[in-house]
């Protein structure tokens, strides 16, 4: 899959009396191309996670339903910072190619949960700070 820039899509969530259920979408797995790392993050109200880009890693992030939040990103060094707000009622898939700085801010009153899968294991030398929020 060839992609420039970030891609954002809302996801259907199965819901029943037990709660919701969501599988990592096939397009996320195709984009990543082979999952080498999975992590789960919590973001308390008012907190930002991110403000960095990955030199080589493709990342697919699913933000779970719950709190209001916003996504902030650029399309590479020297490009305009963009922002999109979400009301927290739907799960959202964010596909992030290498070189795109990104950050998630919890704008709500509840803890925000994120699940990410990546094409490479975590390596601090491949993460570069670039503030977008």
pLDDT per residue over 50-96, tens digit each? 999 999 999 999 999 999 999 999 999 999 999 999 999 999 999 99
Going by C-alpha positions, the residue among 58, 67, 66 that lies closest to residue 1 is 58
Q: Which domains does the chain have, with CATH numbers?
A: 7-12+21-129 (2.60.120.10)
Q: d(Cα 72, Cα 63) in Å, to the nearest integer? A: 14
What mean pLDDT, rounded, does the chain reach? 94
Helix (H) or strand (E) holding 129: strand 127-129
This prediction's pTM? 0.93
Q: What would the DSSP string read from start to end of 34-85?
A: S--EEEEEEE-TT-EEEEEEESS--EEEEEPSSS-EEEEE-SSTTPPPEEEE
Share of the chain above pLDDT 90, in %: 87
Query: Which tokens belong to 49?
Result: 């996670």
The shares of helix, strand and coil residues in the chain, as percent rounded to the nearest 5, are 10, 45, 45
Helix (H) or strand (E) holding 92: strand 91-96
The least confident of 19-28, 43-52, 86-95, 102-111 is 19-28
Tell me the mean pLDDT in the region 36-55.
Answer: 97
């Amino acid at each position: 899959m060839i992609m420039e820039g970030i891609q954002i899509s809302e996801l259907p969530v199965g819901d029943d009396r037990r709660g919701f259920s969501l599988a990592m979408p096939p397009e996320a797995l195709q984009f990543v191309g082979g999952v080498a790392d999975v992590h789960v993050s919590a973001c308390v109200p008012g907190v930002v996670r991110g403000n960095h880009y990955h030199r080589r890693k493709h990342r697919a992030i699913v933000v779970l339903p719950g709190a209001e939040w916003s996504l902030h990103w650029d399309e590479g060094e020297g490009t305009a910072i963009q922002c999109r707000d979400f009301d927290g009622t739907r799960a959202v898939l964010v596909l992030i190619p290498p070189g795109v700085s990104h950050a998630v801010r919890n704008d709500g009153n509840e803890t925000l949960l994120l699940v990410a899968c990546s094409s490479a294991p975590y390596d601090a030398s491949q993460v570069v700070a670039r503030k977008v929020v």
